[in-house]
Amino acid sequence: MHTPVALLLELGVILTALSVLGAVGRRFALSPVPLYLVAGLALGDGGLAPVPAAREFVDTGAAIGVILLLLTLGLDFTVREFTSSLHRHRSSAVVDLVLNAVPGALAGWLLGLDAAGILALAGATYVSSSGIVARLLGDLRRLGNRETPAVLSVLVLEDFAMAVYLPLLAVVTAGGTWAQALFAVLVATVVVAVAIAASGRWGHHVGRILSHADAEQVLLRVLGVTLIVAALAELAHVSAAVGAFLIGLSLTGAAADRARTVLSPLRDLFAAVFFLALGLSVDLGDLLPALPAATALALVTAVTKMAAGWYAAGRDGTGRRGRLRAGTALIARGEFSVVIIGLAAPAQDRLGALVTTYVMILAVCGPLLTRCAPTGPAPLPKAEPDGGRALSKTHPLPAPSAGSAHGVTGPG
Amino acid sequence: MDVNEVLLPGVGLRYEFVNHEGHRVGVVAQRSGEFELVVYPGEDPDEAKPVLRLTGEEADALAEILGAPRIAERFADLTREVPGLSAGQVEVRPDSPFAGRPLGETRARTRTGASIVAVVRGEDVIASPGPAQGLRAGDVMVVIGTREGIAGVQRIVQG
C-alpha cells in the first residue's frame, strides 16, 4: 500500500492547528465553529497556505460531517421534549420563524439571488445554533433560570423545522419545480411523523438491532445504516442530511445514549472537517465585498432574534431581565446556517461568502452579547482548600454494606 | 411537598421545590449525568444562583448520605408502631441451599409468617421482591415479622 505522505502531513498539521484554535477559543468562551471557518479560509484558494493534497479528503469528510451532525441532532431528540415544546411554545416558534426568516429572504431578494438563494439565506438567518447556545447556557450557569426552558424549546422547534426545510431546499437548489418541492416536503413530513411514531412504538427493536455490548459494533452498525439511509434519501431528493436525522430520531432511550457516546468523537472530527471545508470553498477575495451586507444582516437579525427570545420567555412569565437574557442567548448562529449553505452554496458563490461572514460575526458576537445581559452577582467564591479541615473528618464513600446500611436490628 | 418538574429540552430536567423556610430550590439533572444545585434569591425571581455542581458520582454519594438514614428511620418507625413486630436481616451465604434459586422456593412466608420486604444486593436494593426474584450468594434479605419468624427464615435460608 502506498502511504500518501503529503496527505498525512497536511491533515496532521490542519488538525493540530484546529486543536490549538479550539483551545484558544474555549479559553475566551468562544465557539470553535467560527474559528474553524477562519482556518478553512486561510487554507483555501487565495489563502495563506493552500493544502492541495488534503483537499479531497476534506471534501469527502465534509459530506460525512453533515450527516453526523444531523444524526446526533436526531439522537438528542425525544418525543416528550418535542411535544411539550410544541404545546407551550408553538406561537414562539412561529414568531421566531417569521421574524428571523423574513429578513434573510428580503436580503436575498435585494441582493438579486434566485429562489434557491433566497430560501437558503432565509434558513441561515432563521436557525440559531443549538450547539453554541446550549453549551453557553451551561457555561454561564443559566440552566436553573426561568427563561432557560423557553430558550431550549425554541431551539428544539427550530432544529425540528430543519427536517421539513432541508428537503425543500434540496429540491429547489436542484432546480426542481415548486410542485416537486412541495412533494418533497410532504414526503419528508410524513416520513418524520412515521419515524417518530415508530420510534415510540418499535424504537426498542431498532435499538436492539443497532446496539451491541461492543462499542466497535455499535459504531459500525449505526454509521453503516445511517450512511445507507442518507444515500437513499439523497437519491430520493430529500437530502442525505434528512435521512441521517431520521435514523437519529428512530433511536431512543438507552440505544440513543449509547450511540451518542460512541459517535460523538467521530462527529467532532468530521464536523470540524466540514466547517473547514466550507471555509475552504470560499474565496478570500469574495469575503471583503460581502462584509457590509453580512454586517447589516447580522445587525438586523440579532435584533429580530432578541425579539423572538423576548417573546418566548415572556410566555413563561419571565421578567424583563430574564427576557433580555433569553433574547441575547438565541442570537448565535452556527452549524446549521453553515449546513444550509453547504447544501445550497455550490450553485451560489456569493452566498457562501456572505453566510460564512455572517456566521462568523454572529457566532462570536452572540455569546459576547448574552454575557453582557443582566445577571446578578457572580457565583459564590470557592471555599479555601483547607477551610474547616480541623472540624471535619473525611469518610470514605458510605458503601452500602448490607450489614449496617439500613440500621435494622439483627435477628434475635 | 410538591416537587415541580421542568423539562430542559436537549439538556435534561429541572426539579424545583420550596423548602419549609420558604427558599426556592432547584436541582438541574443533566443528561450527561451531572447535577447542579441552585437557589432562587429574592431580587430577580427568574435568575438562579448556582450553589453546587456535582458529577454523577458525587451526586450518588450525596443522595446516599441524605437517603440512607431515612430508610433506616422508616423501618424503625414501622417496627415501633406495631408491638411484637421486628425487622431483621438474613444473609444468603454461598453454602445456602437457596443461593441461585428463586425467592419463592424458600416458602418463607408460608412457613414462618415473616415477610421478605427487600433484598439488598451490593449497592442495589430490590424492594418488594416477588417469588420469582432470584437469590444470589451475598444477598441480604430484609425480613419483617416476629422475632421467631425472622429466626425461622434464617434457619431456612442458611440451611
Task: Supply the CATH number for residue A152's domain.
Answer: 1.20.1530
Residue-level pLDDT at B10: 83
Q: Is residue A83, in this structure, part of any structural domain at all?
A: yes
Q: Is residue B2, in this structure, part of any structural domain at all?
A: yes
Cβ separation B87–A409 shorter than 8 A: yes
Residue-level pLDDT at A379: 42
Cβ separation B8–A149 shorter than 8 A: yes
Q: Write b or e for each residue in A92-131: b if 16 or more Cβ atoms lie within 10 A of its Cβ, otherwise e.
A: bbebbbebbbbbbbbbbeebebeebbbbbbbbbbbbbbbb
Q: Is residue A277, in this structure, part of any structural domain at all?
A: no
Residues 6+ apart with CB under 8 A from B10: A76, A81, A130, A134, A152, A155, A156
Residue-level pLDDT at A78: 79
Q: What are phi and psi of A170, to 5 degrees?
A: -60, -45
Closest to B10 (Cβ–Cβ): which among A76, A325, A398?
A76
Cβ separation A403–B89 shorter than 8 A: yes
Cβ separation A409–B120 shorter than 8 A: no
User: With contact defined as beta carbons under 8 Å apart, do A46 and A64 qualify?
Assistant: no
Q: Is residue B91, in this structure, part of any structural domain at all?
A: yes
Final residue before a domain boundary, out of B39, B54, B69:
B54
Q: Is residue A392, in this structure, part of any structural domain at all?
A: no
Q: Would the pTM count as exceeding 0.90?
A: no
Q: Is residue B95, in this structure, part of any structural domain at all?
A: yes
Q: Is residue B77, in this structure, part of any structural domain at all?
A: no
Chain B residue numbers touching A145 (CB-CB < 8 A): 46-48
Q: Is residue A393, in this structure, part of any structural domain at all?
A: no
Residue pairs spanning A and B at CB distance below 8 A: 144
Cβ separation B46–A411 shorter than 8 A: no
Q: Is residue B101, in this structure, part of any structural domain at all?
A: yes
Q: Is residue B132, in this structure, part of any structural domain at all?
A: yes
B141 touches chain A (CB under 8 A): no
Residue-level pLDDT at A206: 67
Q: Is residue A96, in this structure, part of any structural domain at all?
A: yes
CATH at B134: 3.30.70.1450
Residue-level pLDDT at B80: 66
Dihedral angle of Cα B4, B9, B11, B12, to the nearest 10 degrees: 30
Which residues of chain B are modeled with pLDDT < 70? 42-43, 68-81
Q: Write b or e for each residue in A250-271: b if 16 or more Cβ atoms lie within 10 A of its Cβ, otherwise e.
A: bbbeebbebbbebbeebbebbb
Pairing of the two strands B140-145 and B49-54: unpaired
Q: Is residue A24, in this structure, part of any structural domain at all?
A: no
- What is the Cβ-side half-sphere exposure of residue A306, based on CA atoms within 13 angstroms? 18
| Domain count across chain A | 1
- CA distance to partner chain B, nearest, from residue A129 (Å): 13
Cβ separation B47–A405 shorter than 8 A: no
Chain B residue numbers touching A84 (CB-CB < 8 A): 7, 9
What domain range includes position A80? 65-270+293-336+359-372
**Distances, alpha carbon A130 to alpha carbons A169, A275, A332, B125, B131, in Å:** 20, 16, 9, 39, 49
Q: Is residue B40, in this structure, part of any structural domain at all?
A: yes
- CA distance to partner chain B, nearest, from residue A64 (Å): 23
Do B49 and B88 belong to one domain? no
**Distances, alpha carbon B6 to alpha carbons A8, A57, A92, B35, in Å:** 48, 44, 18, 14
What one-letter code names the amino acid at A196?
I
| Domain count across chain B | 2
Q: Is residue A385, in this structure, part of any structural domain at all?
A: no
Cell of A409: 436490628
Q: Is residue B103, in this structure, part of any structural domain at all?
A: yes
Distance of CA A203 to the CA centre of its chain: 24
Cβ separation B147–A411 shorter than 8 A: yes
What domain range includes position B15? 1-54
Do B140 and B102 belong to one domain? yes
Distance of CA B46 to the CA centre of its chain: 34
Measured CA to CA, the distance from residue A130 to residue A136 in angstroms comes to 10
How big is chain A, counted in residues?
412
**Element (DSSP H or E) covering residue B5:** strand B4-8
Do B97 and B152 belong to one domain? yes
> Across the beta sheet with B49-54, what order do the strands follow?
B4-8, B12-18, B24-30, B35-40, B49-54
- CA distance to partner chain B, nearest, from residue A243 (Å): 20
Question: A144: buried, middle or exposed (CB in 10 Å: 19+, 13-18, 0-12)?
Answer: buried
Which residues of chain A are modeled with pLDDT < 50? 377-412
Q: Is residue A312, in this structure, part of any structural domain at all?
A: yes
User: With contact defined as beta carbons under 8 Å apart, do A412 and B147 qualify?
Assistant: yes
- What is the Cβ-side half-sphere exposure of residue A369, based on CA atoms within 13 angstroms? 23
